[in-house]
Structure 1
Amino acid sequence: MSDANTVVSERSLPRHLGLFGLWLLVVNGLIGAGIFGLPGGAAKLAGEYSPLIYLFCALLILPILLCMAELASYFRGSGGPVRYGTAAFGPFIGFQAGWLYYIARLVSFAANTALLVDSIGYFWPAASAGLPRVVLLSAIVAGLTLVNVLGSVRAMRSLALLTLVKFAVLLLLVIAGASLLGSGLLPAFNPLTVLSSPYDIGGATLLLIYAFVGFESVVVPAGEAKNPARDMPRALIFGLLMVTLLYIGIQLVSVAAVPDIAGSASPLLDVAASLFGQAGSFLLMLGVVASVAANLLGAIFSTPRASFALAEDGSLPRWFAAVQPRFLTPANSIMFFGALALLLTLYGSFLWLAAATVVSRLLLYGLTCAAVPLLRPKLANADSFVLPLGYLFPLLGIAACVWLALQVSWSAILATSLFVLLGSALYFLARHQARRTN
């Protein structure tokens, strides 16, 4: 099972990513800055039932993740959604899948970079405004870009260190909180009465579901995985399981430690201060910085591989497919992403753009689920990860995407439509240029 694009990817980029490296990309795609602010909103909308909403969201996202795991086992080249969309629906849909992924991750990266500087401002107030803010934003983006240009091994080592700090802080909060709170940790609720509660369970689901997106980052650099057919499904499933358990633990501790957490603007800081005093707040801010930095590093590692794959397919100029001869990284794609993200961070307004990323991801997930019935008969073999129960999981994934899409605003749909039109223009321009040079 190979094609021209796969061969190019295998020759161009060395395969350094094992199961642990792929798992790092999954958990850092899932855990960004959101979990540090979500416990308050979740408690406001769902009260003592909020830990169960995390579990429900994980079950909602599970069929989509499993469909992506199956498709990842069919391909050895980089590109992820680009490869799946092209193989199932043709090059135009494949380009749109890659384009939508790229835009969603770019806006998320820019927003989280600004958040990281705001978090640093907790320790260094002068960094929150003026020239110091501009210099710090530029230094962060430039540093992350340089680490990735210098090689995937260096990037993974940095990501592992940041992930260790992040998990240590969050696990310490859960374990120490559970030991201090004892039996008071578990809420006294009857799950059977949730439908008659005064809470907005649907609103809580829509709020928390976005703590479970971002896992798709891992499939994009599949061309650099040692054994993607074996390791990719394991990394996705294991990553979702660990993150779900961590989220539930954090929510249980938050609700028990701070009874009025529903009104908190910085819920985990309040939890840490309640349990451990000012030192706890300081330690948690270190966790915030490490978490956001790890999310950024994972994003700038995986996202440029999408433009790299699109350039290999001829859907973007060949400049994006250039490989740095010494470090064997897609340096042009990495530097372009870094420059675009910095401009957006310095001059962009994220509210309108962020709304578009919601619909972009749902379209991407829907395409992934719809591709499984088309590609399984063609590409599945003895080494593939094939889901049981026929096509039940793709159908469940599509149903979840449709339900979530019905909840979004018309402004988000309009913004996404404009992004699709812009992508279409770029696609046809690249194809026209390719025909003229042939």
Structure 2
Amino acid sequence: MNRGEPKNPAKDVPKALFACGIICFFSYVLVHTAVRGVDGVRAEPVSPLIPVARAAFGEAGSIITIILLTAAMILIIQTAYLGSSRAMHSRATEDNLPRVFGKTNRHGTPSIALHVTAAFNVVLISMGSFAAILAAAAIGDTCANGISLAYVRARKHPAFANLERPFKAPKGWKHVAMLFGLFNLPLCLVGVVYLNSMEIGWTSTWLGFTVLALHIPIWLYSRYLTTDNGRYVK
């Protein structure tokens, strides 16, 4: 097991989720609002802490803040890479992606999936339109949130009743998942497509749906290689 993964998901996952949520709430909401006020945050929507650092430490404070924000952005990118590769690894171990993506190095990191994610992102960046990439990613995020409807089906369908679930959400959360799924699909998806087409153009919209559509033939091929009893067909 990867050393960065929880050893006891039933207890560690809820602690990690609530801890991250509380830290983000205090760091990004309460601290900014308490120091700058609501009007100050609206006046500096990108980085409201830069004026605070400049007022407290002078010009050097703003430089230090920019450096820290850059480091934070690098950590966010790293988290996205690790999350994407881990998701590919999980799907590969379940035969929903080719098993090559499930291979890990000696540290337990899905290195092949990580390199594929990096190469794919380099291709997107080389397109030269960061706004289009973000707009296309918004379509993927909206669809991913809509997949929460699968959680409702998994809780009710008898075929998934005996699956091992180290961490189980409370029973009432199936209604929350259904609400968010219905909200994202189709309401938010229609809104994202409309905003993309109006503000950036249809290129980003088609890019987002094309990337999502690529998963369908890959998934069908992966399922074709797997027999009913889970063995790979050569």
Q: In which range does the TM-score fall when normalised by the shorter chain?
A: 0.7 to 0.9
Once the two structures are superposed, the pairs formed by residues 159-238 of structure 1 within 5 Å of their partners are 224-238=5-19
Change (3 A) 1:276 1:425: same
Please show how residues 258-407 of structure 1 align to structure 2 within 5 Å.
262=43, 267-324=48-105, 326-368=106-148, 370-377=149-156, 378=161, 385-387=168-170, 389=172, 391-402=174-185, 403-407=187-191
8 A contact 1:255–1:261 mirrored in 2:
no
> For residue 216 of structure 2, what is the amino acid of its counterpart?
S
In the alignment, the residues of structure 1 paired with residue 46 and residue 20 of structure 2 have an alpha-carbon distance, to the nearest angstrom, of 28
- Say if 1:390 and 1:246 are closer, same or farther in 2 by CA, change over 3 A: closer
Which residue number in structure 1 is paired with residue 3 of structure 2? 16
State the AA in 1 paired with 2:219. Answer: Y
Specify every segment of 5 or more residues in structure 2 that has no aligned partner in the other structure, as ranges: 198-203
2:191 aligned counterpart, secondary structure: coil
**Is the Cα–Cα contact under 8 Å of residues 258 and 270 in structure 1 kept in the other structure?**
no
For the Cα contact (< 8 Å) 1:254–1:261, is it kept in 2? no
Q: Which has the higher relative contact order, 1 or 2, with Cα contacts under 8 A spaced 6 or more apart?
A: 1
The answer to which structure has the higher helix fraction is 1
1:302 positional shift: 2.4
Q: Equivalents in 1 of 2:48, 2:165: separation in Å?
A: 48
User: What is residue 243 of structure 1 aligned with on the other side?
Assistant: 24
- Give yes or no for contact 1:360–1:416 (8 Å, CA) kept in 2: yes
1:420 has 2:212 as partner: yes
In structure 2, C-alpha distance between the alignment counterparts of 1:424 and 1:382, rounded to whole Å: 26
The amino acid across from 2:218 in the alignment is L
Report what 1:182 is aligned to.
none
Number of matched pairs: 217
Task: Tell me whether 1:408 sits opposite 2:192 in the alignment.
Answer: yes
**Alpha carbons of 1:267 and 1:15: their partners in 2 closer, same or farther (altered >3 Å)?**
closer
Q: CA deviation at 1:320?
A: 1.9
Offset of residue 380 of structure 1: 8.7
TM-score, with length taken from structure 2: 0.73
Against the structure 1 CA distance between its residues 288 and 390, is the aligned structure 2 distance closer, same or farther, given a 3 Å change threshold? Answer: closer
How far did 1:330 drift?
Answer: 2.0
- Aligned partners of 1:315 and 1:386: how far apart in 2? 24
User: Scaled by the length of structure 1, what TM-score is found?
Assistant: 0.42
Alignment CA distance shift 1:280-1:424 (3 Å): same
Q: CA deviation at 1:285?
A: 1.4
Change (3 A) 1:317 1:251: same
* 1:328 aligned counterpart, secondary structure: coil
Shift in alpha-carbon separation, 1:307–1:359, aligned structure 2, 3 A: same
Q: Distance in 2 between matches of 1:257 and 1:367?
A: 34
CA distance in 2, matches of 1:301, 1:396: 29
Specify the code of the residue in structure 2 equivalent to 1:422: L
Task: Sort the Cα spacing of 1:417 and 1:265 in 2 relative to 1 into closer, same or farther, 3 A.
Answer: closer
- Rounded to whole Å, the distance in 1 between the matches of 2:16 and 2:95 is 30
1:340 and 1:405, CA in 2 relative to 1: closer, same or farther beyond 3 A? closer
* CA contact 2:88–2:113 (8 Å) conserved in 1: yes
Deviation at 1:413, TM superposition (A): 5.0
Contact 1:258-1:271 within 8 A present in 2 as well: no
- When the two chains are superposed, the root-mean-square deviation of aligned CA atoms in Å is 3.5
* Identity between Structure 1 and Structure 2 (%): 22
Distance 1:391 1:314 in 2: 26
**Cα deviation 1:7-39 (Å, max 9, x = unaligned):** xxxxxxx1523xxxxxxxxxxxxxxxxxxxxxx
Residue identity matched to 1:16: R
Q: Aligned to 1:398, what secondary structure does the other structure show?
A: helix
Mapping of 1:108-123 within 5 angstroms? none
Q: Secondary structure at the match of 1:243?
A: helix
